[in-house]
Amino acid sequence: MAELKKIAVMTSGGDAPGMNACIRAVVRNAIFKGVEVVGIHRGYEGMIDGDFENLESHKVSNIIQRGGTILKSARSERFRTKEGRQKAFEQMKFAGVQAFVAIGGDGTFRGATVFEKEHGIQCIGVPGTIDNDLFGTDYTLGFDTAINTAIDAIDKIRDTADSHNRLFFVEVMGRDAGFIALSCAIAGGAEAVVIPETETNIDNLITILEKGWYHKKSSAIVVVAEGDEAGGAYDIARLVKEKFSEYDTRVAILGHIQRGGNPSVYDRILGSRLGVGAVDALLAGRRNEMIGVTNGKISFTPFSKATKHHQEINKNLLQLVEILSI
């Protein structure tokens, strides 16, 4: 394999707090190792358009504490086509880029897999998604910040719920996975949690709420992952209210507030470790792998495995919500 002289870094898919910390780490470690770095704006879209920027050390100063991504992000329909990937390869070749770090989720890694197969471009992926659903890492970049942002909102909702004897259905992000919802339910003292990984039984949910009412609870909170099969918070609240009307019922949708904000200390450290590790992995000749942290140590998982399998919900944590809700 030819010695790497120039690499690129990009962010793709949904933004996640800690991406900037990771970009900073990639740039600084590459420069430390004598390798040039190019930033690709707007993910695969920017790769196709040649929207590149040479990144020097000072260009990533004062970004570790910022949410979002300085490189911007986008989803690219054009990159799904062979013609789009050919154009991206031509742009990378013209810029002298030999390998790249892709910060994103499973769609990002699937794209990198096809790109490498067709054009031989070496890639290491960094798991940047607030959903924490990628196989091969204990935590994904942005998850810790997202749950802390959500729990701050839930704590405030509990105050007003207590003041008015209200039942709140709080919807958090999680189209395909309930990790955010489950963590917030435990940390926020919720009476119940509704997630895509388990079948939602409205009658069982009502039974839980009735027990709280008879135990003279002055409020109740149900955390709902947006992707639950029974519907979002509004649908579930309507179904519950039809059979249980003791509480004054309200719905709160936290939405994209969970993606924003300054990254937590954990996400800054995680982004820094993964960024440095990704550059080292490229220099060592690794390719088509996702870097992660497992049991506190840097680990690598092939893209094919990271995107095919998903992190599984800890059933003991589900039971914890039930036990602590009485």
The yes-or-no answer on residue 155 being catalytic is no
Report the DSSP pairing between strands 166-172 and 248-253: parallel
Which region, left, alpha or beta, applies to residue 287 given φ > 0 means left and ψ of -120 to 50 means alpha? beta
Task: Give the DSSP per-residue string, 242-280.
Answer: HH--SSEEEEEE-GGGGT-SPPPHHHHHHHHHHHHHHHH
Structure-block tokens of residue 243: 């059979």
Residue 7 DSSP code: E
Residue 178 DSSP code: -
Task: Give the DSSP per-residue string, 30-86.
Answer: HHHTT-EEEEETTHHHHHHHT-EEE--GGGGTT-TT--S-TT-----SGGGSHHHHH
Task: Give the DSSP per-residue string, 76-126.
Answer: -SGGGSHHHHHHHHHHHHHHT--EEEEEE-HHHHHHHHHHHHHH--EEEEE
Residue 215 DSSP code: T
Report the DSSP pairing between strands 52-54 and 36-40: antiparallel
Residue 139 DSSP code: S
Active-site residue, selected from the candidate residues 106, 131, 133, 144: 131
Measured in degrees and rounded to the nearest 5, phi and psi for residue 33 equal -95, 5
- 8 Å CB contact between 107 and 13: yes
List residues with catalytic annotation.
131
